[in-house]
Amino acid sequence: MDLNQTKLTKSEWNSVERPVDKDEMKIIKLIIKGFYNTEIKYNENLSLISFIKISDVNDAMHYHLFTIHFVPLIESLIKKYNIDYTIPSKPKSCNTLKKSDSFKIENKDKEYISNNCHTIFDFTIIEVITHILKNRKKKLPQWQYFYYTLSQMKIQTIEGVNTFVIEFQNYILDSYLSEMKIESIIENSQEYIEKNQCLIHYSDIKLYGHQQQLFNIFNKDKVSNRNLVLYIAPTATGKTLSPLGLSEKYKIIFVCAARHVGIALSKSAISAGKKIAFAFGCNDASEIRLHYSAAASYVKHHKTGQDIKYKDGNKKVDNSDGSKVEIIICDLLSYEASMNYMLSWNKPNDIITYWDEPTITLDYSEHSFHEIIQKNWSINLIPNVILSSATLPNENEIDTVIEDFEDRFKFTYNRRLIELKKNKKELEELLESLKQSSESSKPSDYNDYIDIYVSKIENIDIEINKLQQNIDTPTNVSVIKSYECKKTISIINKDGYVELPHLLFDTYKDLRNSVHHIRNNKTILRYLDLNEISKFIIWINRKKEMFDSSYHISNVFQTIEDVNMLNIKLNYLNILDSINNSLYKWTVIYNMFIGTRIYKFTPNPKGIESDNLTKAHSFDSKTSNNSNIFDFKRTISHDITSKHIKSSGLVNITTSDSYTLTDGPTIYIASDVDKIAKFCLHMAKIPANIMKEISDAITFNNTINNKLTKLEKDYEDAMAPFEEKEKRINKDTIPPAIKNMRNEINNLTKLIKSVTLPDVYIPNKIDHLNKWTNLSSSSSSSSSPYTSKIIDSDVEKVMAIKDVDDIWKVLLLLGIGLFSQSTSITYTELVKEFAINQKLYLIIADGDYIYGTNYQFCHGYLSKDLIKDLTQEKAIQAMGRIGRNKFQLDYTIRFRENNIIRKIFLPDEDKPEARNMCRLFSTDYSLLH
């Protein structure tokens, strides 16, 4: 997390111009359209009708297509599996097809449709039904997996699905409903629900519930005069994109302490065509800069009066004219300047201040930001404020903040009211004096003066009435709490086991405290491992007398539609809270589960210099294309490795444990990043001779880089007189001496040596896997260890970096980068570039990068040295770096200190963030002018 309150760098400016990818653009458009239509949703999957592009859909069309494409398939199923189903006859209401529609159907060759049937939803329904019948006939339990899939496909809103296919689908669901066992769905919920590719692939795309709630507060015709919104939703659920929707009606001031969050939003806003301004490191409004699309006017040449143009043809923007700005993105330092800038063009009630992660730095007792935060809160004139964070304190913990917001605006309104009444009195006295003046002393335009004074008094009365209404109307305080739960990110303790409340707490008192805490902070639900929860629910339901009968499976999950990830996790909490501890001692239950628990990953004997590794299979999460949606592989749910093989704790991330880091990059958060770096390099076991070659090359490159630094500085100084504002430079005007300097720079740059490491030392390359595991290129795709994607041109960039320790250059060759405030800007920008393009295997980050690192990580480590300063909220923020954007991958967060896990699962009596928020989000009236 970059907390520097400085101007944007050139590379940051350039980055905002890169358009977002196609899929993200669809989400952005959905959010924008969803502001006024919160129920909006779409589904890109095609029915047969959509595939052949028929617009006028009727029963005749459905039946005609059904007869041609689906009846032969259904008849085959009826015959093969002895189904008691009658093909429907043509309805009497069916009219003859239009000639134009017949022509379209005839032009869509039947073979062409058959070859593309895997992309057509109607055929997918038939395919799933086929799997149900096939597995059921063989008496394989997998048929229930496909039955559950079919039942969930029914609720999607795909346009134009053949009505007769739906009729057959309903017949199958009704016929085998009585044979379905909900216990089986729960027992296999990880496979049936969490890793069911079909459910995600065919699901509707719609707004998150928290976005709907937020938009419904502000999209009404009449909105409260003052709005304070506490916006609490899990990370990676679109909170920071919500301002794009709000900007359909309001002007937005987006405030962020972490600049990269603002840069990411600006990139999305520009791609969506929003007109934005930037305020980073600004002391006053004169330093605010507009994006070119937000320009309302341009700087004129003082002599010609014409618009000044640059060499590329663009006009010089007048940044003082922000009349077209829809969103201004600013850091904490620049809030006052941004607010005054926006108020120059808009009324306060037409603006929303959207404060992203307001608790950043509030875990510290003292911080340089604290004074800025209190000042921003105190001088704020915008009556619509959204405080947005996944870990924002609950409203009862910051009640004084809410009261202060109400009181401060009443104070401001009352002060303005006094000022207006004083002005009104003065005008009334002037008016009365004018009326009482003698005829001879009355001005010639006496009546005009009377009209002016009367008009001014009337306008003041209008404003006084509005202010009085504002004072009398209470602040609308809205609390949005969301706990979207579509994925599981498993918590792994230092010993390599999945951690959950029933596996962590040996006393029932602590267990219940944990349950109540999770209920109050439901964002933690995503970190409860679904597989382990399901095992517990199935086990305890075989001993129904142990807990409240209202939470038995049969009473909670009365229909198949009730079985989903969220309901399973909530049922788990309810069961834990209702155990009859007087009859069935919790310690006995706890010890039983602890005695039978298994490692998340089968220990790798090669990590203790053995030669064997048994591989555990799971669903293939690498691919999501239709061709393998129904590849059903049963997850091994027991540890087939002997118990005496002890887990390494998954710390050997450059050798024997690297294979457990699958599907995407990993982040390792620590206080002492150098210690982790040295450990990674030491464990990589790179031979001394190879290390010497690398060290010699880096030393040589450092010498070249030092020469380049001096030479480039001299070159820039020499070129300065020739670089006029109009930038009219050509080769003929540059002196030979300067040209020679440029040639020397080019020649020195060519001398920089590239360095390579053999693949056997780079985590999860094929040679590396062959050495440290039995996984290889011929292994099943169900295992997908992730490796770096550093290529030769990347290595050249690494070797050219100045002002960074040699160890970090070597680690980049291994695919390991560093996020730290202490590294050079050039190095940090390169690591950011690699992270965006997912070229790195591992990123080591110091604690300042806990908030708002929006790169995609599939796994994370929290170092034991964080325990001293890591608050509960900051720990949850750290966990929020994992599992962003994509579903159905194997996500884990691995703790090197178990006490941090306890801190997450139990209420924290001392919350510095809440305490400091109450202290700093308190108006300092001395700052109000």
Domain boundaries defined on the chain: 10-38+207-412, 48-206, 413-474, 498-597, 600-623+632-686+757-921, 687-755
d(CA 894, CA 879): 9
Q: Rounded to the nearest 10 degrees, how much is the dihedral formed by the CA atoms of 4, 7, 11, 16? A: 100
d(CA 691, CA 327): 51
Q: Give the pLDDT score at 729.
A: 52
User: How many CA atoms lie within 13 Å of 258's alpha carbon, on the beta-carbon side?
Assistant: 21
Q: Read off the DSSP letter of residue 849.
A: G
Work out the average pLDDT over 32-55.
92
Residue 730 CA to residue 31 CA, distance in Å, equals: 48
Q: Is the pLDDT of residue 812 over 70?
A: yes
68 CB contacts (<8 Å, ≥6 apart)?
105, 110
- Sequence-distant (6+) residues with CB within 8 A of 645 are 603, 605, 608
Q: How far, in Å, CA of 652 to CA of 638, rounded?
A: 23
Q: Tell me if 790 sits within 8 A of 817, measured CB to CB.
A: no
pLDDT for 700 equals 86
Write down the pLDDT at residue 45. 94
Residue 630 clears pLDDT 50, i.e. is over it? no
Strand 384-388 to strand 227-232: parallel, antiparallel, or no bridges (unpaired)? parallel
Please write the tens of the pLDDT for every residue from 541-584. Answer: 999 899 999 999 999 999 999 999 999 999 999 999 999 998 89
pLDDT exceeds cutoff 70 at 726:
no
Mean pLDDT of 164-171: 97
Number of H helices, E strands in the chain: 36, 16
3-state SS class at 576: helix
Give the sign of the dihedral formed by CA 595, CA 599, CA 602, CA 607: negative
11, two tokens: 């590379």
pLDDT at 256 over 90: yes
> At 144, phi and psi to the nearest 5?
-70, -30
Q: What fold is seen in the domain 600-623+632-686+757-921?
A: Rossmann fold (3.40.50)
CB 242 within 8 A of CB 214: yes
Rounded mean pLDDT, 327-331: 97
More reliable by pLDDT, 432 or 337: 337
Split at pLDDT 50, 70, 90, the class of 613 is very low
CB atoms within 10 A of CB 143: 20
Residue 94 φ then ψ, to 5°: -70, 125
Given phi > 0 = left and psi -120 to 50 = alpha, else beta, which region is 313?
Answer: left
The angle at the Cα of 814, spanning 810 to 819, to the nearest 5 degrees, equals 75
Contact between 470 and 226 under an 8 Å Cβ cutoff? The reply is yes
What residues contact 478, with CB distance under 8 A and at least 6 apart?
A: 213, 217, 227, 228, 229, 230
CATH 2.80.10.50 applies to domain 10-38+207-412: no
Burial pattern 620-654, b for ≥16 Cβ within 10 A else e, equals bbeeeebeebbeeeeeeeebebeeebebbbbbbbb
Q: Taking a C-beta distance cutoff of 8 angstroms, is the pair 537, 572 a contact?
A: yes
* Tens digits of residue pLDDT in 87-144: 998 887 776 666 666 666 665 677 788 888 999 999 999 999 999 999 999 999 999 9
Cα–Cα distances in angstroms (integers) from residue 276 to residues 191, 293, 349, in the given order: 44, 8, 19
41 pairs with which residues across the strands? 206
Q: Token pair for residue 786? A: 């992730």
* Cα-based distances in Å from 846 to 1, 670, 859, 874, 893: 9, 5, 16, 13, 16
User: How confident is the model at residue 92, as a pLDDT?
Assistant: 75
What does the DSSP assignment read for 524-554? GGGGS-HHHHHHHHHHHHTTGGGB-GGGSHH
Beta-ladder partners of 892? 490, 859
Residue 595 has pLDDT above 80, yes or no: yes
Segment 356-415, tens digit of pLDDT: 999 999 999 999 999 999 999 999 999 999 999 999 999 999 999 999 998 888 888 778
Which residues make Cβ contacts (< 8 Å) with residue 87, sequence separation at least 6?
71, 74, 75, 78
What is the rounded average pLDDT of the residues 922-928?
A: 86
Residues 468-503: pLDDT tens digits? 877 777 889 999 998 877 789 999 999 999 999 999
Instruction: Give 220-230 pLDDT, tens digit per residue.
Output: 888 888 899 99
Query: What phi, psi does 90 have (nearest 5°)?
Result: -65, 125
Q: Mean pLDDT highest for which of 171-185, 215-229, 761-775?
A: 171-185
Q: For 749-770, write each residue's pLDDT tens digit.
A: 888 777 888 999 999 999 999 9
Would you say 496 and 898 are in contact if contact means Cβ atoms under 8 Å apart? no
For the purposes of burial, counting CB atoms within 10 Å of the CB of 474, is it exposed (0-12), middle (13-18) or buried (19 or more)? Answer: exposed
Between 266 and 463, the more confident residue is 266
Backbone dihedral region for residue 65 (phi beyond 0: left; psi -120 to 50: alpha; all else: beta)? alpha
Tell me, what's the pLDDT at 614?
A: 37
Higher per-residue confidence, 321 vs 308? 321
Token code pair at residue 881: 């770096």
Question: How far is it, in rounded angstroms, from Cα 575 to Cα 565?
Answer: 16
Q: In what order do the strands lie in the sheet with 489-492?
A: 489-492, 891-895, 859-862, 666-669, 842-845, 816-819
Instruction: Judge whether 635 and 190 are in contact, CB under 8 Å.
Output: yes
Please state the rounded mean pLDDT for residues 317-342: 96
Q: CB-based burial of residue 776 (10 Å sphere; 0-12 exposed, 13-18 middle, 19+ buried)?
A: exposed
400: phi then psi, degrees, rounded to nearest 5? -70, -30
Structure confidence at residue 537 (pLDDT): 98
Q: Is the pLDDT of residue 629 over 70?
A: no
Structure tokens at 525: 């639900």
Q: Give the number of other CB atoms < 10 A from CB of residue 113.
A: 18
Which of the pair, 348 or 236, is modelled with greater confidence?
A: 348
Confidence at residue 628, expressed as pLDDT on a 0 to 100 scale: 43
Residue 829: pLDDT over 90: no
**pLDDT value at residue 560:** 93
Beta-bridge partners for 492: 498, 894
Helix (H) or strand (E) segment spanning residue 388: strand 384-388
DSSP character string of 623-686: ---GGGTT---PPP-S--S-TTS----S--TTTTTGGGSBSS-EEEE-S-HHHHHHHHHHHTT-
CA distances from 99 to 53, 61, 105, 191, 822 (A): 15, 12, 10, 47, 72
Over residues 280-294, the pLDDT tens digits come to 999 999 999 999 999
Show the tokens assigned to 642: 């002997």
- Taking phi over 0 as left and psi of -120 to 50 as alpha, with beta for the rest, 236 belongs to left
Percent of the chain with pLDDT over 70: 90
- Asked if the model's pLDDT at residue 717 lies above 60, the reply is yes
**What is residue 39's three-state secondary structure?**
coil
Q: Which helix (H) or strand (E) holds 476?
A: strand 476-481
Domain 10-38+207-412 and domain 600-623+632-686+757-921, same fold? Reply is yes
How far apart are the C-alpha atoms of 847 and 485, rounded to whole Å?
26
Q: Where are the alpha helices (DSSP H) in 786-886?
A: 792-799, 806-813, 825-836, 872-879
Structure tokens at 417: 């009211």
First to last CA, the chain: 34
CB 901 within 8 A of CB 498: no
pLDDT score at 747 = 87
- What backbone torsions phi and psi does residue 832 show, to the nearest 5 degrees? -60, -45
The predicted pLDDT at position 739 comes to: 83
